[in-house]
Amino acid sequence: LRPYPATPLLRGASARDEEIELVWDDGERASIPLIWLRDHCPCEACRHHQTRERLIVPLDGVAETAEVGLEAGHLRLRWADGHLSQFASGWLYQRRPAATDASALPARQAWSEAFTPTRVAHADIFTPGGEATWLEALLRDGLVLLDGGPLADEEVSRIAERIGPQRPTNFGARFDVRSKPNPNNAAYTAIGLALHTDLPNWRQPPDIQLLYCLQNAAQGGESLFADGFQVAEALREQAPEHFRLLSELAIDFRFQDATQDIATRAPVIECDASGRVVEIRFNNWIRDTLRLPAAQMTAWYRAYHHFWTLLHSPRYQLDFALAPGQMVAFDNRRVLHGRRAFDPNTGARHLQGTYLDRDMLESRLRVLARDS
């Protein structure tokens, strides 16, 4: 059995009806159904010895009775069909029904007016503590800064791939943001970019965006951010009907160029079944022809304009110039980003960007917690 050093041993185990009652050294108690224990048997017949994936479904009848015993403080069950299951006390302690989930991820918190982003030094992201701080802030606040990185091509990919594979889109897995001669996207010009989320025209837009600054010598080009969750709540409070229209009516988003035509239909504000805001899709360049019943159109435009105005209000906006060697990471399905116009004749501005799946951030945080 694998030891779980920080958790107590079992001092009692007894069968009652179809459950086992357990008592640990620290006085903690739990009742666990027999069928659950059979389902979670860790032996090599029940779990693949290399992948640790489950190989069985507990069958009717096999988990109604078992002989219960303790061996050096761990649980031992001999089932009626002769099968033997052994459970480490610590494993059971961590997963007992009343236990809080030690691997729980940070809850998303809307920005307050006093919000200032967490900053992590580039050198620290390569330590477990620094990386966990960066990941937690990104999952919780939807935005985090990394300071003092090298001015190295592809540093953004190196950081991203520490977390997980880069998420490719029609702009490639890794993209360069600088003004180009024949742009297919407003980001590749020098114009100011109003707040937006990237690629809301995809059924699943990229979750996380990383933007790494390599050069920022041009006049202008400051970065702008707003928390869509915070501003959506302000809209709900100021004008519930506007919030309702933007969250209930799906509209079209579409990107077209010579080779692509990527489109989807979704509301600007998406709520879950309990009414909590879970996603913002906002990108005025690729908002497609408005297809709504004529009677709803004017009301929808009013609601959209109201949301636009709130988003761009200085009260809700973060505004700062990225320094060369600095990287901003943000939740693209929550936090809107933009920039002020810049003058390419006054100096170079060059950012490198990529996207990551939120699942990989969560995975990385669980792996770091496992090792700590």
Question: What is the contact surface with ligand AKG in residues (CB under 6 A)?
Answer: 177, 187, 193, 198, 223, 337, 339, 351, 353
CA-based max dimension of the chain: 81
Interaxial angle between packed helices 294-311 and 240-248, expressed in degrees from 0 to 180 and rounded to the nearest 10: 110
Which residues, in sequence order, are CB contacts of 11 under 8 Å at separation 6+?
Answer: 23, 24, 25, 70, 73
Between 34 and 199, whose beta carbon lies closer to ligand AKG?
A: 199
**CA separation (Å) from 46 to 2, 57, 93?**
16, 9, 21
CB of 223 to ligand AKG, least distance (A): 5
CA quadruple 295, 296, 299, 302: dihedral positive or negative? negative
Query: How far is 304 from 246, CA to CA, in rounded Å?
Result: 7
What is the C-alpha to C-alpha distance for residues 363 and 168, in angstroms, rounded to an integer?
A: 19
**CB of 33 or CB of 220, closer to ligand AKG:** 220
Question: Closest approach of Cβ 353 to ligand AKG, in Å?
Answer: 6
CB of 108 vs ligand AKG, minimal distance in Å: 22
Q: Between β-strands 143-147 and 118-121, what pairing exists: parallel, antiparallel or unpaired?
A: parallel
Q: Which is nearer to ligand AKG, 281 or 337 (CB)?
A: 337
Nearer to ligand AKG, 334 or 339 (CB): 339
Is 148 or 192 the residue whose CB approaches ligand AKG more closely? 192
Residue 199 Cβ vs ligand AKG, minimum distance, rounded to whole Å: 9
SS3 category, 122: helix
Q: Least distance in Å: CB of 311 to ligand AKG? A: 14
Based on its alpha-carbon atoms, the radius of gyration of the chain, rounded to whole angstroms, reads 26
Q: Min. distance of Cβ 228 from ligand AKG in angstroms?
A: 15
Quick one: 117 or 353, whose CB is closer to ligand AKG? 353
Question: What tokens were used for 197?
Answer: 């989320």
